[in-house]
Structure formats: C-alpha cells, structure tokens
Amino acid sequence: MAEVRPFKGVLFNVPQVSKVSGEELLAPPYDIITPEYKDVLYEKSPFNIIRIDFGKELPDDNDHKNKYTRARMYLDTWLREKVLVQSPEPCFYSCEVDYSIDGQSRRLRGFLGLVRLEELGKGTVYPHECTHSKPKKDRLDIMRYCEGNVSPIFSLYNSPQKKTSGILDSVNKAKPYLEATDPDGSVHRLWQICDKTAIAAITAELRDKAIFIADGHHRYETALEYQRQQQAAEGPSDTPRPYDYVLMFLANMSDEGLTILPTHRLVKKVPGNALDLLAADFDIDEVKGCCEISDVIFGKRDVFGFYKGGNVWYKLSYKGQGVDGVEPALKYLDVTVLHELIFSKLLKVEGIAYEMDVDRCLQLVKDQAYQAAFFLNPTQVGDVERVALASLRMPPKSTYFYPKLMTGMVLNIFKNSL
C-alpha cells in the first residue's frame, strides 16, 4: 500500500517577502531553464529559488566552494533570516495551475505530500517510461548539500471517488498562500491543508492507490540512491527516517485537468528509399504546401507525419494492429509503432533527437541539421496507467506532462520534516 503522509514543509515567508511577487521567488524546473533564462531569474530577486535549485557555476569554483555549497549557504541564511519558514505542524499543500492549451482554459489540481520510497515497480510506485541515464550527479549533490527535496516529482493516482479532489475544491476557495505566473502565462497557486480531519481523509484515500510517476523519474531514482547511501552510513532502523520519503505532487487521473503533449523525433540519418521501405506497412499520402502537420494527424491513432525536406511531407497511416513481439500493454502505442517498427525494423535510423515544436523540427530538417522528422500524437493518460501497472516502460520522451510545476512552492528539508 502507498504511504502518503503530511510533512512540515518549508515555504517562502509571504508576510516577510510581501513586496516580492511569487514569480520573482519561484522558477521553472531546472531541466527546462536555458542559461539565458537563468540570468533572468537571478535578476528577478535575491531570493529566487534558482540560487538553491540550479545555481550558477563560477570560474573559481572548487571542491570546497561551488554552486552546491552556495545552495546550502542560501538555504541556511534564508531560514535564519525568516525568508523561508517551516510549517509548525505536518500539512499537505494544495496546488492548482490555471493554464491554456490550444486556446482552451484548463485547471490542473493536486496536492504536495511525502511518499514512502520503494523500488520502482516492486510495490505501489510505478515508472512509465525509460530514462536515458543513471540518476544525475547534479540532483544527488543538491540532495546531499541541502539535505532535502527542493523540487517535487509530478505523480498521478486514480480515484473515481474523488474524495481528495473534493477536499481540494473546498480548500482552494480561500485566498491562496502564494500565487505566481510562470513564463507561459500559467497561474500557480498554493494553499496549506493543516486540518487533521482533511489530512486523515486524504491519507486514507491514497492508502490503497497505485502511484504513477508522470515527470521526475530521474529525481525518484536519485532519491533512492541517496536513501541507499544514508542507510549504509547510518545502519538499519525500525522507524522511517526523513530520507525514506520523497516530495511529490499528486494529481488524480479522474480529474480533467491533465494534459500530455507530444514530443516529436528528429533523426540524423534515414535511408534514401525510406518511403519504399515503409510502403508495405503504411498507407502513404503526400501532402503539399504549408498544411499544418499536427492538424492533419491530430487525434488519429497509428497516424504519423514524416518530413524529409522541401515543400512536401507525408502522412503515414499504419495498416497493422500493434507491433508483433511486443508486450500487449505496449504494442498498440504510437510511440511503440514509431520506435519498434519504423525506427528499429524498417528504417534502422540513427541519431534520434527530441523536439516539441513542429516548426522547429521542420526548420532543422531544412537546415540539414537532421535528415528527417517524425511527428506523432500525444500518449493518453490511460496508456500511462496501463503500461505502468504491467511493470513495463515506454520509450524515452513518450510523454510531456503540461504545465510544468514551478520550483519553490514548498521544499521538503529533512530536518524536523516528519
């Protein structure tokens, strides 16, 4: 059973920094911040969370003075000066994001809490896609120096009863503790949930639920590695310790605010006779001019866009039913057809890169940085659940959950967190 529990979160002291807006304090996730935007965040406020989560490297850095030692210095200083404060009692933290996608307004809603660490797929916490590398040293060093989780893992659960969703509805009618607008114009809001009855109800509903990691596989694996190192150093314990938990944002799949965007593929090398190689398995329609690829393939399973230069692109419609030799939970997914059939079996492509922007994909091919681009529809939330419960993983970059959560809403600093 999943163990989800409240904690004494560390938050920006809103009364203390009341003259500073939320967007001056918070930052996007580290892995989507460009060097140029990092400079912008540094200029926003001397208290922007970027200084802790993803600080600058300086020319005279060494083993004793670097961005990690500075991160700990900022954390300690801000706590001492009450820029950051710790909740006196364990709480959950309601978080909602109002955003727009394709001209439609939507609302993502969930809560921040701690989840007991366990090996992925061996209990009630499930991954859904492969990752490219081992836990990142950078994230592990942030955990080591700050002794906590600075940013949450984005996770999902499925509860048609929506008991927690109802609690969040009620809580979110009050004035938020913190509000910030991200660079995309999405509005993020935070509330504290300290009522013991509400906490008990949320804990009870999540107790028998599976938890699916949507965004943050590396951070979860990093938390597991940190736990292993601490347990080796401190020895066994009959009671859980703070590092046995990880900070998560938990959203209900049964709510309607989740959005998954597609990540398209660029390939360095594709056979010159690619269309001939594809013809046996795909109906191929030539599309001329500037017709928007996403509009043509949108919502059509087993349909892909293929562009290799010029003023023509191709709509590929798969004739088959799934990919032979692949597990049932995976075989019918568009990303599986693309990777296992088109890339591996038919074209044997080389040098795969990932890009979300259709126009940028087209331009990179026109500029001959890549030989071809393949476009696909987003993976569905139900596919994520089905693949994860089967203890399988999709190819890398199969999902892009949107919007991204801002860093700095709540920190989980291990000291006195439970």
How does pLDDT run across 260-272, given as a tens digit for each residue?
Answer: 999 999 999 999 9
H helix or E strand, kind and range, residue 306: strand 303-307
Give me the mean pLDDT over the 136-159 stretch. 95
**Residue 282, SS3?**
strand
pLDDT at 291: 65
Are 196 and 33 a contacting pair, CB within 8 Å? no
Residue whose tokens read 């930052």: 27
pLDDT at 117: 96
* DSSP category for residue 185: S
Q: How many whole angstroms separate alpha carbon 87 and alpha carbon 5?
A: 14
The number of C-alpha atoms within 13 Å of 15 and in the hemisphere containing its C-beta is 2
End-to-end, the C-alpha distance of the chain in Å comes to 19
Give me the mean pLDDT over the 148-155 stretch. 97
H helix or E strand, kind and range, residue 75: helix 67-80
Q: How confident is the model at residue 131 (pLDDT cuts 50, 70, 90)?
A: low
Q: How confident is the model at residue 127 (pLDDT cuts 50, 70, 90)?
A: confident
Residue whose tokens read 């399973």: 301
Q: How many whole angstroms separate alpha carbon 313 and alpha carbon 320?
A: 22
Residue 138 has pLDDT above 60, yes or no: yes
pLDDT at 217: 87
Averaged confidence pLDDT in the chain: 93
pLDDT at 194: 97
How does pLDDT run across 389-413, given as a tens digit for each residue?
Answer: 998 889 888 999 999 999 999 999 9
Are 246 and 153 a contacting pair, CB within 8 Å? yes
How does pLDDT run across 171-187, given as a tens digit for each residue?
Answer: 999 999 999 999 999 99
pLDDT at 289: 67
The number of C-alpha atoms within 13 Å of 57 and in the hemisphere containing its C-beta is 5
Give me the mean pLDDT over the 15-30 stretch. 84
Q: For the ranges 275-279, 288-292, 374-378, 395-399, which has the lowest average pLDDT? A: 288-292
pLDDT at 184: 94
Are 90 and 196 a contacting pair, CB within 8 Å? no
pLDDT at 177: 95
Using only the alpha carbons of the chain, give its radius of gyration. 23
How does pLDDT run across 215-262, given as a tens digit for each residue?
Answer: 988 899 999 999 999 999 999 889 999 999 999 999 999 998 999 999
Q: How confident is the model at residue 214 (pLDDT cuts 50, 70, 90)?
A: very high
Give me the mean pLDDT over the 147-159 stretch. 97
Q: How are beta strands 211-215 and 125-126 bridged, if at all?
A: parallel
Output 294 or 85, whichever has higher pLDDT.
Answer: 85
Q: Which amino acid is at 45?
A: S
Residue 100's DSSP bridge partners are 105
Residue 368 has pLDDT above 90, yes or no: yes
pLDDT at 100: 96
Give me the mean pLDDT over the 16-32 stretch. 85
* DSSP category for residue 339: I
pLDDT at 20: 73
Q: Where are the domains of the chain?
A: 4-259+402-413, 263-377
Residue whose tokens read 């970059």: 397
pLDDT at 21: 84
Q: For the ranges 200-209, 269-278, 285-294, 397-406, which has the lowest average pLDDT? A: 285-294
In this structure, what token pair is assigned to residue 65?
Answer: 């003075």
- DSSP letters of 365-396? HHTTSSSEEEE-PPPPHHHHHHHHHTT--BPT
